[in-house]
Amino acid sequence: MSHYDRTFTITAGTEACTFLDIDADTLAAQAHEIFITDGYRVSGQEGTVTIYEKGSRLKRLLLGALVHYFKIGVSLRLDANGEVVVTLQNKLGESGGSVARKKIQKEHRRLIALLQTL
């Protein structure tokens, strides 16, 4: 049974998904497993935000948009309605121009589709 409820955009580069009938710890473990299985690695923590990276930043700097490199902040919180909210935030900013921006948007959509399976 999928616990996914809906997706909404908070700001450009920041999307959130809500989940029902699942506790935050279980969802956090399942989301973490999805990111790790997909080739992401945990590169740090910024407060309650876990930073996941995929690819090589150095290669991205040297070769530009030809190289896949993603850095995404993921946070979970329980809202007043009892829903668990998972937020995905682009941590690369606008580097790489329009081609990189489109790749980042495509990767966000792909990751949200993966989260929707939970």
**Contact status, residue 109 vs residue 17, Cβ threshold 8 Å:** no
In CATH, what number is assigned to the domain containing residue 44? 3.30.310.80
In a domain, 7, yes or no: no
Distance from C-alpha of 103 to C-alpha of 101, rounded to nearest angstrom? 5
Q: How many structural domains comprise the chain?
A: 1
Q: Which strand ranges, in their side-by-side order, compose the sheet holding 14-19?
A: 4-11, 14-19, 84-90, 69-78, 49-55, 41-46
The three-class DSSP label of residue 1 is coil
Q: Is the pLDDT of residue 12 over 90?
A: no
| Tens digit of each residue's pLDDT (9 = 90 or more) over 53-100 | 999 888 877 877 778 889 999 999 999 888 999 999 988 765 667 777
pLDDT score for 104: 84
In a domain, 87, yes or no: yes
Q: What angle do CA 18, 28, 111 make, to 5 degrees?
A: 60
Give me the domain span that covers residue 69.
23-115
In a domain, 79, yes or no: yes
Sign of CA dihedral 21, 2, 81, 72: positive
pTM of the shown model: 0.89
